[in-house]
Chains A and B, each alone.
Chain A
Amino acid sequence: MSYVIEMLNIRKEFPGIVANDDVTLQVREREIHAILGENGAGKSTLMSILFGLYHADRGTIKVRGEEVHIHNPNDANDLGIGMVHQHFQLVQNFTVTENIILGKEGGFFLDRKSASKRIAALSAQYGLNIDPDMVIEDITVGMQQRVEILKMLYRDANILIFDEPTAVLTPQEIEDLMQIMRNLSKEGKSIILITHKLAEIKEVADRCTVIRRGKLVGVVDVADTSVATMASMMVGRPVSFKVDKKPAQRGRVILEVRDLNVLNNKRLLGVKQFSLSVKAGEIVGIAGVDGNGQSELIEAITGLRPIESGSVIVDGNEITHADIRRRNEIGIGHIPEDRQKRGLVMSSRLSDNVAIKEYYHRPFSKRGILDAAYLDEYAQSVVDRFDVRSGEGIHSLAGKLSGGNQQKLIVGREITGSSELLIAVQPTRGLDVGAIEYIHSQLVAHRDKGYAVLLVSFELDEIFNLSDRIAVMFGGQLVDVVKTDQTNEDEVGLMMAGISKKEAR
């Protein structure tokens, strides 16, 4: 069997960390080859080396049996290697065609017409269903991803790297993508799929290379390997997919939202007449398709977005128009949706990030002077307790941490602040099973201490795993609230489409 890509004994070191240690990857012609590993295991580094973004300290790369030196992405393109990045690289106000030919215009005059024709043909050949004349900002995220795929096909790539391609997609779009990947491999392309989602690997991949902490664990045939086996290979121990939790011991009402109306960024009502209460000792999950007012609701409760009308009461305190610091002091903890934008200061040390909500009062500071020793000590305790791994401990910059460790740091900060009400938005987005398991157990532990938890997630599994009650949102409104043990995924799924419980039955 011949290999299209061989990366042999690759080693790559970053300050304080060995990202790849003697890793070997061999991809066969026309196969879908998954690379499985936790966040920070070194998958992305390995692919960045293949794509010419990094250079290996040691090891060789062969393409179709010939040793090559890939210095930059252009070299990779010339070898027929293309990459769909996790974050799309598209010009928002250009058309699909313009985006695809960008950098490959050829000649002085733009020949949009023939380019557009060729793109339409490619789209039809691989079942991508893309109109070349649409403008990027008008099409869905799933379609944008297919434009990225077209971009590679247009450049005659026949080895396609997908970096966490499903992180941004809805369940239906994921289905479509899987089909597209199968089509691509049928048409003779070889695919490398970087992911930590086991279900996707099981569904689409032929073989799977598992990496843990920079080292190769093994290569398996997906068809003969169970999901549980792959998970334990990835994490290094058996993993439980179900969260262990006792029935909720409900206490007094902590969060009370009444008739809330909130404007969205388009100055329209993003949240309409929304009422909900969350009691101490329970987890209430908000289910819904992304964009149905969840972000606006959470921003209104946490003070990031003004409230038009209605009220928010936390632990007996009316905070409808209170500033954010007051809300923090009352005891709202918030694991934000976008951890890189909101959750952390990437260019700051972990110790500063841990203290960012509380630095201004004792014992973090006295009379306006910071207590550096206490800051470090406190950060160290959070880092130890939540197992945040980094190159240089509490002095590492937050931006140098892997996504999972960044999230653990945020969760640690918010839970250690002993929040009466913990709001967790997509707390495990983009994380691997090990980190998901850990964060889930922490959220349940927080509940068991008698605090209230409000969870927002777009993943039904997560909602069902964690929530004691499920509130379904659609079009900015509350469809209904149901007890988790009295409903099922189908019913909630229908409610997410706006069909109320009565109609659903």
Chain B
Amino acid sequence: MKKRPRTTESHAFLVAVSAVILGLIGGAVLMASIGSNPFLGFYYLFRGGLMNIERIGNTLATATTLMLVGLSVAFAFKTGLFNIGASGQMLIGGLCATLVAHKVFLPRPLFLVVLIGSALIGGALWGVIPGFLKARFNVHEVVATIMMNWIAYWSIYYFVPAYLKGPSLETESASIAVSQSLRSPWLTKLFNGSYINYGFFIAIVAVVLIRFVLDKTTLGFGLKAVGSNRFCAEYAGIKVNRNVIISMMIAGSLAGLAGLSFYTGYSRNMQIGVLPAQGFDGIAVALLGASNPLGVFFSSLFFGILQSGKGFMNAMTSVPPEIADSIIAVIIYFTATSVLFQRLWDRLFKYRRSRRSGEKEE
């Protein structure tokens, strides 16, 4: 279910780049308006994300979570579903993984399989419930996933102090031993002690896999048909409800993997009373990436740079870190109004084409 892939993708790419540039200009205007030097601000923002191998590692680790959540939202969107529940799915996936990390002891390769599997199952469960409610009772998935977010939130509130309490703090789980986490000594060493972990590779595998599923498989064909026109899909004999459930299950497991990368790789513990903001940032990632797995890959890297560079920008200049968030917000506005860019680019291309054909006539 795609147009000629190259034209569409390059089109989406142009739209995304235009949005990013306008977002950066918007950020520059904001910086200038509070009396800071925008060039200096951006210099430190990007330097903060990229200045050395350790920072690059941290940027990648931040991008990992965003990539997986973005993929989750994008995948659901292809089936015509809006997954607002990535936060909750992250929490449950993370909780399952944290439990495994604390309680299960196995040889490392086997352990990693169990660890990843537990996060997949946790996230999938949290996704499949709204999927089922939608398919069976026509409960709108936005409502159901938001509710599931809060169920997850309060479950963590209970579970972590009850079963995973740390030695000092009541509000967070005990730290996971590095050998029981997604981190690996050689990666940490390679990136000079950064947070980067196996999650990054999991995310890349997920990008490739999801792209393959959507473009090349009958499963993806059916899911996209349901997403584009459920009435036609139904008429053609595609089981709409089953596809809705499958789609939410896969979206949930991707968000579960995001929880895995965040709670057992990036931070190695879980705090109570926090609904992870990445679950919502992922919507922006998917939007900027035009719900395309490859687009999600690049947009999550970009947002990763902004997220991890904003602290450094704040330290080096008087620009508050909220500026980075504002840039993201502006970008989202411009992406959401991408139809305007599309028209602009269309007109530009047409103008060039007509000029070219005009030359030929002469």
Contacts and interface: CB of A to CB of B under 8 A. Distances in A.
A106 interface: no
Given A325-B237, A343-B232, A395 B3 contact: yes
B1, B219, B222 pick with most chain A CB within 10 angstroms:
B1
Interface stretch (B131-139, B223-231, B296-304, B332-340): B223-231
Given A345-B1, A346-B229, A392-B4, A365 B218 contact: yes
Contacts of B350: 15
Given A345-B228, A347-B228, A348-B2, A369 B217 contact: yes
Given A345-B228, A369-B216, A395-B4, A352 B235 contact: no
Contacts of B235: 302, 304, 324, 334, 336, 342-343
Contact of A397 (B3, B216, B237, B239): B3
A368 B218 contact: yes
Contacts, number: 85
Given A347-B1, A348-B1, A304 B217 contact: no
A345 B232 contact: yes
B322 interface: no
Nearest to A361: B218
B221 A352 contact: yes
Nearest to A372: B216
Given A360-B218, A369-B217, A324 B3 contact: no
Interface string A317-341: 0000001111110000010100001
Contact of A370 (B4, B216, B231, B238): B216
Contact of A349 (B2, B231, B232): B2
Contacts of B232: 341-345, 356
B4 A342 contact: no
A352 to B, nearest CB: 5
Contact of A357 (B216, B224, B231, B237): B237
Interface string A390-405: 0010010100000000
A344 B228 CA distance: 10
A359 interface: yes
Interface string B1-30: 111100000000000000000000000000
A341 B230 CA distance: 9
B217 A368 contact: yes
A357 B238 CA distance: 8
B217, B219, B232 pick with most chain A CB within 10 angstroms:
B232
B162 interface: no
A167 B40 CA distance: 64
Contacts of B224: 348
Nearest to B349: A15
A360 B3 CA distance: 20
Nearest to A341: B231
Contacts of A345: 1, 225, 228-229, 232-233
B234 interface: yes
Interface in B198-222: 216-219, 221-222
Nearest to A371: B216
A339 B293 CA distance: 31
Contacts of A346: 228-229
A348 B8 CA distance: 12
B219 A368 contact: yes
Contacts of A304: 234-235
A142 B222 CA distance: 39
B236 interface: yes
Contacts of B228: 345-348
Given A336-B235, A345-B232, A356 B219 contact: no
A345 B226 CA distance: 9
A325, A359, A365, A372 pick with most chain B CB within 10 angstroms:
A359
Contacts of A341: 229, 231-232
A326, A347, A365 pick with most chain B CB within 10 angstroms:
A347
A347 B78 CA distance: 12
Contacts of B236: 324, 328, 356-357
A329 to B, nearest CB: 8
B218 A370 contact: yes
A355 B232 CA distance: 12
A444 to B, nearest CB: 24
A359 B3 contact: no
A359 B1 contact: no
Contacts of B231: 341-342
A343 B234 CA distance: 10
Contact of A359 (B4, B221, B229, B239): B221
Interface string A13-57: 001000000000000000000000000000000000000000000
Nearest to B219: A368
Nearest to B221: A359
Given A356-B225, A360-B218, A368-B219, A327 B237 contact: yes
A75 B233 CA distance: 41
Contacts of A325: 237-239
A353 B228 CA distance: 11
Contacts of B233: 345, 356
A330 to B, nearest CB: 11
Nearest to A392: B4
A342 B230 CA distance: 8
9 contacts: A345-B228, A352-B221, A352-B225, A356-B232, A356-B238, A359-B221, A368-B219, A369-B217, A370-B217
Interface of B: 1-4, 216-219, 221-222, 224-225, 228-229, 231-239, 350
Interface of A: 15, 302, 304, 323-328, 334, 336, 341-349, 352, 355-357, 359-360, 365, 368-370, 372, 392, 395, 397
**Shortest beta-carbon contacts, A-B, top 5:** A325-B237, A324-B237, A348-B1, A342-B235, A356-B236
Given A302-B235, A343-B235, A346-B228, 11 more contacts: A304-B234, A324-B234, A326-B237, A328-B237, A349-B3, A349-B4, A359-B222, A365-B217, A370-B217, A370-B218, A395-B3
